[in-house]
Amino acid sequence: MKVFSTPFDNVFLIEPNVHEDERGSFSERYNQKELRQAIGKKIVFCQDNQANSVKGVIRGLHYQLPPFSQTKLVEVLQGSVLDIIVDIRKGSPTFGQHFSQELNDINRLQLLIPRGFAHGYITLSERSIFQYKVDSDYHAESEGSIAPDDPSLGIDWGLPKSQWIQSQKDKQHPGINHAPLFDFNADLND
C-alpha cells in the first residue's frame, strides 16, 4: 500500500496495491499490520458499513462525539463520490477547514479519517457503492452533524444544490458555529 499525507495531521489517502492480469484484479483492501507501520498507530475496526446511492445523494456532514467518536476508513467500490472532511476540533490550527477528494472505482483510493473530523460525500456517478470501516460502535445520542451548505465552510460539492438529494434529517443540521464539536486539547479519545 502507498500512504499519502493530506493538509491535516493524521488524515491519510491510501492507495492499496492492485494486481491485475487477464483474469481481472485482486487487491488487499485492509491490512492492520501494514497500516500501523505506515501511520505509526494501531486502529482496530469493529464494523463495516455500506451505502448504495444514486447521483446527487449527499450524506453528511456526520460525526460521533466523545466518548463514542470514530475513526473511519472509507472507499468507493462502484461509481464515484466527492468525499469531504471538516476539522471540527475547536482550538485546532485547521479548525473549520475542509479537504475533498474524489474516490472512485478507478483510482481505488481510500481515506483514513481520524476522530475530530466531520465527514460527508456526494455521489457524482449515476450510482455508487460506498463502504467504510469504523473503530467504535454507533451511539445515537452522540451523533453530531453540520449542514453541508454552511457558507462559512465554503465547500464546493461538485454538483449544484438543486441536484442534491438529502434525507430530511440531513436537511436540518446546524452550521458549524451552532453544532456541538470537539475540544482539540481534551476530547480525542484515541
Q: Is 19 a catalytic residue?
A: no
> pLDDT tens-digit profile of 42-71?
999 999 999 999 999 999 999 999 999 999
This prediction's pTM: 0.92
Q: Where are the domains of the chain?
A: 2-183
Q: Is 132 a catalytic residue?
A: yes
Measured CA to CA, the distance from residue 138 to residue 70 in angstroms comes to 8
The number of residues in the chain equals 190
pLDDT at 124 over 70: yes
**What's 2-183's CATH class?**
mainly beta
The pLDDT score that the predictor gives to residue 190 is 46
Query: Which of 62, 98, 119, 173 is an active site residue?
Result: 62
Rg (alpha carbons) of the chain, rounded to whole number = 16
